[in-house]
Amino acid sequence: MSLVYEIKDYEKLESTQMVGFMVRNEKGSVLAINKEVPLVEGKTKEEYVAEAFAMCRAEIQDWEENMSVVGSVFNPETGQFESN
């Protein structure tokens, strides 16, 4: 499933750079997630975003896996998912 990663927040806090993402899947489900990256002199915006993305990758993968059944039709007689 294809995901879209939109940067929703980018804010310098006291000692960290907060980066927020809105992650959308093909079904229209959305995950909002924020991570704080320690400030380092000379680090670029792209580097902060990449580091924040790496920090939230496992959570995004878990969410994507959980969302894979949302919207599916379950047939209790067969114990299987059916096509919509």
The amino acid sitting at 10 is Y
Predicted confidence (pLDDT) per residue in 2-32, tens digit: 899 999 999 999 999 999 999 999 989 999 9
Which CB contacts under 8 angstroms, 24+ apart, belong to 54-62? Answer: 56/21, 59/31, 59/33, 60/3, 60/21, 60/23, 60/31, 60/33
Predicted confidence (pLDDT) per residue in 30-73, tens digit: 999 999 999 999 999 999 999 999 999 999 999 999 998 888 89
The Cα–Cα gap between 47 and 33 comes to 18
- pTM for the full predicted model: 0.84
